[in-house]
């Protein structure tokens, strides 16, 4: 398993733990939508805030504001890319 997939799996676990979801990381596809009504995770703005705080604590990436949170939390792939780049957008 490459480092990027390890990061993506860690992000899935972080989301499951922070948002108290009863699922396994294998149930989340790397490119599926994380936020909104089309998401099987059904994450809301409070979940988004919790994830952003956990990402800052764990990875040092600060995601400020609802607009940047929506961009960064588009999918696991996008979030991992933001962490690897050290910025959102």
The pLDDT profile of the chain, 89 residues, written as one tens digit per residue, is 567 999 999 999 999 999 999 999 999 999 999 998 889 898 999 999 999 999 999 999 999 999 999 999 999 999 999 999 999 86
Query: C-alpha distances in angstroms, 55 versus 37, 38?
Result: 23, 23
Strand stretches in 1-89, DSSP E: none
Task: Check residue 35 and give its pLDDT.
Answer: 93
**Which pLDDT score, from 0 to 100, does residue 88 have?**
86
Amino acid 1: pLDDT: 57
Q: How far is CA 55 from the centre of its chain?
A: 8
pLDDT of residue 49: 95
Distance CA 86, CA 81 (A): 8
Give the fold, CATH level 3, of 3-85.
1.10.1200
């Amino acid at each position: 398993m490459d480092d990027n997939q390890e990061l993506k799996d860690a992000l899935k676990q972080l989301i499951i733990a922070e948002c108290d979801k009863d699922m396994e990381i294998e149930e989340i596809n790397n490119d599926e939508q994380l936020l909104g009504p089309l998401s099987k995770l059904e994450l809301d703005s409070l979940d988004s805030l919790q994830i952003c705080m956990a990402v800052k604590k764990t990875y040092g990436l600060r995601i400020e504001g609802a607009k940047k949170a929506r961009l960064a939390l588009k999918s696991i792939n996008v979030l991992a890319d933001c962490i690897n780049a050290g910025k959102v957008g």
